[in-house]
Amino acid sequence: MTENVTNPGTPAPARRRRGRAALLGLVLTLGVGTTAFFAGQAFSQPGFGPFGGWHGRAFMMGQIDPAQIEDRADRMVRHLAIEVDATNEQQERLRAVVKAAVRDLVPMREKGQAARQRAHDLLLAPTIDRAGIEALRAEQIALVDTASKRVAQAVGDAASILSAEQRRKIEDRLHPQPGFWGGWRR
């Protein structure tokens, strides 16, 4: 009688455990790698982040130009004005505020896109330029701060145009009732 044993010094259950652990490690590595790949692809798309968005043309159809941005913002204001029962005069004033804000913010968006390319170049250079990375980070913090201040100014200007009741209607739309159909009001 001959026994077919590959390693006589290791019991069979220990070999099985080691094989399962290796298989589990391989599956986890593939899962993490796949997740990292898709996350990298998602974040590398133009239009992602504070100066773009998943649902805009930048994600599905290439770059969106400033005129299209202004048109979309204008349509959003007109829609909001209808929802809060704004007068024609209020609507025109809101449109002016938003149009001015968009004109100020579009160049900041373009700076953000240019910075993305700079970051790409810095990180793929043969030698890592830590001072360049820090300078880019500081520029981006300043850019986001400027954009945030401009948005806050526009929100304050728009709020001063609307009445307290109209602002309350916006609040109600931002925080729908809980439940499955809570946000669906029509």
- pTM of the predicted structure, to 2 decimals: 0.58
pLDDT tens-digit profile, the chain (186 residues): 555 555 556 566 666 666 666 666 666 666 555 555 555 544 444 544 444 444 444 444 456 778 888 888 888 888 888 888 889 999 999 999 989 988 888 888 888 888 888 888 888 899 989 999 899 889 989 988 998 898 899 989 988 998 889 888 888 777 766 666 655 555
* Residue appearing with tokens 């007068």: 87
Q: Please give the pLDDT value at position 45.
A: 47
Q: Please give the pLDDT value at position 88.
A: 92
Pair 115, 139: CB distance under 8 Å: yes
Q: Please give the pLDDT value at position 92.
A: 92
Single-letter code of the amino acid located at 127: T
Q: Please give the pLDDT value at position 62.
A: 55
Q: Which helix (H) or strand (E) holds 76?
A: helix 66-83
Q: Please give the pLDDT value at position 96.
A: 92
Q: Where are the alpha helices (DSSP H) in 85-129?
A: 88-124
pLDDT tens column, 9-44: 656 666 666 666 666 666 666 655 555 555 554 444
